Structure 1
Amino acid sequence: MSNEPRLDFQMLDSTGSEYYSWVTDVENHLTSKGILPIIQAPDPGLVFQRTPTKHAQAIILMRRHMDKALRLEYMSMKDARELWVALEERFGNIQDTLLPDLKVQWNNIRFSDFKSVAEYNSEALRLKAMLKFCGKPLTEDELLEKTLSTIPVSAIVISKCGSIEHWFKQCHASTKLAASYKEYRQNREQESNLAENEDSEDVNLTIEDFKAEQMHEDAADFD
């Protein structure tokens, strides 16, 4: 039988990467038990008794959802508010710590590195959410550009609705549009090579270029 504690939500680890999600989960569970004020600053206008039992209930919940290293580090704390504040001081500015690594992860993510579309979608959307949390939201075009620039051309499937969120839900468009994008990339790469040979300005392939050309396509191109 496992000695790991039973979890109601994701555990907080020593990196603090999921701290804010963990905070929300703890607050919701304490609210459901009617003891949320036990971790909040005292409010003279609120009738709430801070009993040892309520402190214990809150601490047990928090400690059960902390990894072993954190549990050992804060094992001497008996006051729920004190533990809550200590974790906030430690992880409250975790965005500054996470952002550099998240940028590296986003730069390195490649569609071809995943075994399935679902796995790629899950990781891409996770990075999107985390970057937004850190104050660096990705645009829809950045998401689509990343996908199209790293996916094998033979596997390209593009949503005819034009929405990256819809695309990530595996909305499908015609193979003709996929072939169109393949041809577009090949043509632009040839243009780029010619431009380089003539010492001209580089031609960069972007999703905006593809969109511009697609605006002139007949609606019948879509299934």
Structure 2
Amino acid sequence: MANLAKLEYVALDITGKNYLTWVLDTKIHLEAGNLGDTIREESCSSSQDRAKAMIFIRRHLDEVLKSEYLTVEDPLALLEALRSRYNHQITVILPKARYEWSHLRIQDFKSVAEYNSALFRITSQMKLCGDTITEEMLLEKTYNTFHANNVLLQRQYRARGYTEYNQLISVLLVAEQNNELLMKNHNS
């Protein structure tokens, strides 16, 4: 029978495709439950806390993985075994995310919101893999990928001196909404 307990986040898939987000979620939830010490080297956690951590981690594993790691009783040992098995995901995800980053252009999206969503999905993957994405990089990516017909607009936005990506994207969203309203008024 399926696991009847409600999961706090998605269980680790047997393929490991969600390993990076799974391990991050696991660490956060263990910390929130005062069990973070159970997955640290030279831990002084009690056997009861380690057992609670194991129960929690095992609840968030695919059924096949539970069977494969049935004899592992230490949460740190289990996470290390899973890391050695799935950490190669970084070598799969990072090049793909970098490729998507290099080909991301605001002009290719129908709306600013769609661009913003794609940008954050890509940068999240890059950050999970250890890349650093700065506010300046986000701003430059957006400025440099405006459509060629909007060079004047791009210069005006750049001249405003935004230091945070959220400031720029907010202004772009408002401008897009105002433009849509003007077009509706014009058409009616």
Distance between the aligned counterparts of 1:143 and 1:40, measured in 2?
40
Which sections of structure 2, spanning at least 5 residues, go unmatched? 180-188
Say if 1:7 and 1:64, in contact at 8 Å, map to a contact too: yes
- Give 1:143's aligned residue: 142
Larger Rg belongs to: 1
Q: 1:74 aligns with which of 69, 78, 94?
A: 69
* TM-score (ref. length: structure 2): 0.61
Compared with structure 1, are the counterparts of its residues 76 and 165 closer, same or farther at alpha carbon in structure 2 (3 Å cutoff)? same
Instruction: State the partner residue of 1:209.
Output: none
1:49 aligns with 2:46: yes
Structural RMSD (CA): 3.9
**Higher RCO, 1 or 2 (CA under 8 Å, sep at least 6)?**
2
Once the two structures are TM-superposed, the CA of residue 121 in structure 1 deviates from its matched residue by 0.6
Secondary structure at 1:144 match in 2: helix
* Pairs within 5 Å for 1:68-217: 68=63, 70-92=65-87, 94-109=89-104, 111=106, 116-132=111-127, 133-135=129-131, 137=133, 139=137, 140-146=139-145, 148-149=146-147, 159=157, 161-163=160-162, 164-171=165-172
Distance of aligned partners of 1:115 and 1:56 in 2 relative to their CA distance in 1, 3 Å threshold: farther
Identity %: 25
Taking structure 1 as reference, are residues 84 and 108 closer, same or farther at Cα in structure 2, changes over 3 Å only?
same
Assess, with a 3 A threshold, how the Cα gap between structure 1 residues 4 and 128 changes in structure 2: closer, same or farther: farther
- What per-residue deviation string (whole Å, max 9, x for no partner) do you get for residues 50-104 of structure 1? 24xx333212322333345544543443332221111232344643332211123
Distance of aligned partners of 1:32 and 1:124 in 2 relative to their CA distance in 1, 3 Å threshold? closer
Aligned length: 165
